[in-house]
Amino acid sequence: MAEKLPSPELELDHELVRRVQRGESAAFDALVRKYQHRITSLIGRYIPDWSECQDVAQETFIRAYRAIGSFRGDAQFYTWLHRIAVNTAKNHLVSQNRRPPTDDIDASDAEQFDTGAKLRVTDTPEHELLRQEIERTVMRAVEALPEELRTAITLREMDGLSYEDIAAQMKCPIGTVRSRIFRAREAIDVQLKPLLDQTDGERART
């Protein structure tokens, strides 16, 4: 039986890790951009507060950067990063005298970008209205994207397809898929920033 070759995406991750280990910090920035949404979504399932979730996500990447010298490529990079994120979220909850959940979130389940988890805010009437506005803003931002960006981000974040499957469906190289998804996320983030800043401002006043 022929040995299964690693996917181009996994090869890219491992190459970026090797470059970080050689001292190229810009390569780690690429890994952060690639996985920041998924890691924030994962942490959001443990820590629903948006601002707190962002802080823990940042701490996750700091810890990953410090520990990346120990990464040997025996597992997928995302699986390794997922484990760091879960431990960081649990440690944060313990430090706040809050009980972490007993069941860990599986890495394959956490692959899906969960907009609801990312944008969850405190349950008050005002925050519920804001949450609804944020969700509407996300939908409008997605609908306003050029067709190729909208299709790529929908297949990835809503349908959960791999980059390889998206490339096959859209009949384009994986690099093009990755670029389209990155540009789509950037455009959505631009539209969300005013509302998220509003959320932070309201929280600071409470």
- Mean pLDDT (whole number) for 149-161: 78
The verdict on 139 and 56 lying in the same domain is no
Domain range spanning residue 78? 8-111
3-class DSSP state for residue 161?
coil
Instruction: Kindly indicate the confidence band of residue 118, based on its pLDDT and cuts at 50, 70 and 90.
Output: very low
3-state secondary structure 84-120: HHHHHHHHHHHHCCCCCCCCCCCHHHHCCCCHHHHCC
How far is 44 from 38, CA to CA, in rounded Å? 10
Q: Decide if 8 contacts 174 (C-beta within 8 A).
A: yes
The answer on pLDDT for 199 being more than 80 is no
Of 157 and 41, the one with more pLDDT: 41
Is there a single domain that holds both residue 55 and residue 142?
no
> What pLDDT digit, counting tens, does each position of 24-39 carry?
888 888 888 888 888 8
Cβ contact 28:65 at 8 Å: yes
Residues 103 and 137 placed together within one structural domain of the fold: no
pLDDT value at 148 more than 90: yes
Q: Does 41 map to a domain?
A: yes
Residue 145 in contact with residue 184, Cβ under 8 Å? yes
Q: Rounded to an integer, what distance in angstroms lies between the CA atom of residue 168 and that of residue 162?
A: 10
Which carries the bigger pLDDT value, residue 74 or residue 130? 74
- Report the alpha-carbon distance of residue 53 to residue 47 in Å, rounded: 6
- Are 130 and 55 found together in one domain? no
The CA distance from 53 to 55, in Å, is: 5
**Residues 42 and 65 occupy one common structural domain:** yes
Predicted TM-score (pTM) of the model is 0.50
pLDDT of amino acid 121 = 41
